[in-house]
A and B are shown apart, each in its own frame.
Chain A
């Protein structure tokens, strides 16, 4: 297909360069390392040409066309950085900033302030960069630097609009909005919907819903694309907003349903703080975009192994917990033992579970349940089972009659804790490496953050117990070692997702459960959808 695209030759700033037909002047320039300041345009959006930051001079064209919406043509002669253009751009930015709290941009104490306060201070209402959640990743700040803004000639106008804090996941402060329209356009582009649009006229224009309804009432799917493209701090992800760009990230697969979207999970101080689609051109659902950090960061996550002493489960060290498991499991070999997990668990976990159940416990009861359309799993224990090791909340208390030993391994407490002899804290989602099988595809899990407390990957807990029980093997040094033993092919990331997953277009189609836990109980905001 590439061969059929006609190549054009044009001149930018005296340099002869080539461009495939159909490319805009801005795209061509950026691709050749010629920077043109730009703002309202976005790689995931069709050209718009609203902000006028990317204006250029083109021989034979009147005025100053916007390079983002002007197609490159054969023989075109373009200048991007003349003194006239620089002045015009500065004026355009000054006008944009007249309605954006930007005093910090022209503050004479800026250098000293950045030294003492590199991160923004928290604030209910942002009135400058120093209290702006967007400070560390702000496109306006970059732009003002590249354009060399030194003063604000117009008296700034603050809109005094109330900060909108009643929506789940997204907090909107329209006092920071510069009306670039990226959010309006991405919503139309990705969903074909006008959930949000420009409201009112002139200096009163703002981005909002029709008739002042809430985002939920207006049909928002909470895919978060509008937050992704917002160049200011106007649209913010509530959970992530004070972390800036985070301290690092990993690319992994979201396993909160079977769509297998490739996501990038960002961490700060080893905790997950936000997750985004790797390919932001196709939206992901509310769970993948907003659900993972709050689920992983829940206050009641299991952090420490616990062992029963009389009426209470007492927090103990790993050695004590493993020793108790060894001591109690010894008496339940054969088919009186069952291990229950979900088929959505990683293949490495399932390999170790399988070996443990078959080779160490000599039982045929490795029960792998497949979640239903909501992600819920229900398992029944076979008759004669006296010892059960459950890797989640899959079995109802009423069905545990006759069980003499119950081991729970999970990320959150559950109703069976009162019956359990041992509780192991497990690392989940973005806390683990591994491979998952989804619809015949092998997808990679890559650890992005640390689990809370002493929680560990599922396979490593089972392997430790196996070794304690005297089994040979089970001496894996890493998840990769398990994968090698199991002969797993390396997982990949499903970055190129042709279509958005169903839940991204309708949040009611999301899975409601993970590992047997109702996500609504763990993630504030889901209940409001």
Chain B
């Protein structure tokens, strides 16, 4: 059993969980993820590692409440234990000295790039973190990201804080203005990663995206997470999660992610444990 040491809603619908997982915390590397089951009967869901503390033996996850499984997880309390946690999984992000690296993140990705930014900065890169949210109250980790970035740019869709627009607008503008970006890494929803890929492609900037298809075992056995990258079929769990953004078949990824939309909604409506959510 893996105890939830800390849990809080750091922005509306965004939850930060610190979970006791000693072995995972010892081995974790930036860009990796864990697969977690809230209870014995839960679905297995991958969550990107936002951070870890090898000494305390904990991992930190940023979780967005979306469907049945995330709901189960975020309805647990501090001190409760999740049934299973396996990881670290996936190939860690290559950390070298590239020069200037722009990190684009939205949604849970803002949490996910924290450890990436830290590692890239430690490797003498100039790190530009560009984070997006719909509105000012949905931004989180501002101070944490500022501490590990050379430049932190926040965007909002409604213009209530930082630049009005999206991360791609900022990165696109930088590239058009002739700023040299040696690498762009995007973590967030598939839509945002696709837009990033489209924006950087004409400029020929190496761009990596952390793909998030439906995943089951996370160890390369089931093939549920397969994605088309260039001519190849890859498994996001063991070949990824990072892939060359310009090679990804985005339409296929969208279609595969929506494969169980009806079942997901059905499970939500028939099992919402509303009696448990007393306010």
Chain A interface residues toward B at CB < 8 A: 101-104, 106-109, 112-113, 116-117, 119, 121-128, 131, 151-152, 155-156, 158, 160, 162-168, 171, 175, 238-243, 269, 294, 297, 299, 524-525, 528
Check if B150 is an interface residue, CB within 8 A of chain A.
no
Cβ contacts under 8 Å, A297 to chain B: 266, 270
Within 8 Å by CB of B268, from A116, A122, A528, lies: A122
The answer to whether B157 and A106 have CB atoms under 8 Å apart is yes
Can you report 26 A-B residue pairs in the complex whose CB atoms are below 8 A from each other?
A101-B134, A103-B134, A107-B157, A107-B158, A116-B194, A122-B264, A123-B13, A123-B64, A123-B65, A124-B71, A125-B12, A125-B13, A126-B13, A127-B12, A128-B135, A151-B158, A155-B136, A155-B160, A156-B137, A162-B279, A166-B274, A166-B275, A242-B268, A242-B269, A243-B265, A524-B272
The answer to whether A166 and B278 have CB atoms under 8 Å apart is yes
Bound-complex Cα distance A125 to B14 (A): 9
Min CB–CB distance B271 → chain A (angstroms): 8
The answer to whether A108 and B135 have CB atoms under 8 Å apart is no
Cβ contacts under 8 Å, B157 to chain A: 103-104, 106-109, 128
Size bracket of the B interface: 35 or more
Chain B interface residues toward A at CB < 8 A: 12-13, 64-67, 70-71, 74, 134-138, 156-160, 164-166, 169, 191, 194-195, 254, 261-262, 264-266, 268-270, 272, 274-279
The answer to whether A239 and B136 have CB atoms under 8 Å apart is no
The answer to whether B191 and A113 have CB atoms under 8 Å apart is yes
The answer to whether A239 and B269 have CB atoms under 8 Å apart is yes
Prevailing SS type, chain A contact patch = loop
Cβ contacts under 8 Å, A299 to chain B: 270
Cβ contacts under 8 Å, B138 to chain A: 127
> A103-B157, A175-B12 known; A238 and B166 CB under 8 Å?
no
Cβ contacts under 8 Å, B156 to chain A: 103
Q: Which of B160, B166, B264 counts the most A-chain CB atoms under 10 A from its CB? A: B160
Cβ contacts under 8 Å, B66 to chain A: 121-124
Bound-complex Cα distance A117 to B257 (A): 12
Nearest 8 CB-CB pairings of A with B: A124-B65, A103-B134, A125-B13, A165-B277, A103-B158, A103-B157, A158-B137, A107-B157
Closest to B279 in A: A162
Closest to A106 in B: B158
Min CB–CB distance B173 → chain A (angstroms): 13
Bound-complex Cα distance A162 to B137 (A): 15
Cβ contacts under 8 Å, A168 to chain B: 274
Cβ contacts under 8 Å, A123 to chain B: 13, 64-66
The answer to whether B279 and A156 have CB atoms under 8 Å apart is no
Bound-complex Cα distance A103 to B136 (A): 10
Within 8 Å by CB of A151, from B64, B159, B194, lies: B159
Closest to A102 in B: B158
Min CB–CB distance B144 → chain A (angstroms): 21
The answer to whether B265 and A242 have CB atoms under 8 Å apart is yes
> A152-B158, A166-B274 known; A124 and B137 CB under 8 Å?
no
> A125-B13, A127-B12 known; A165 and B274 CB under 8 Å?
yes
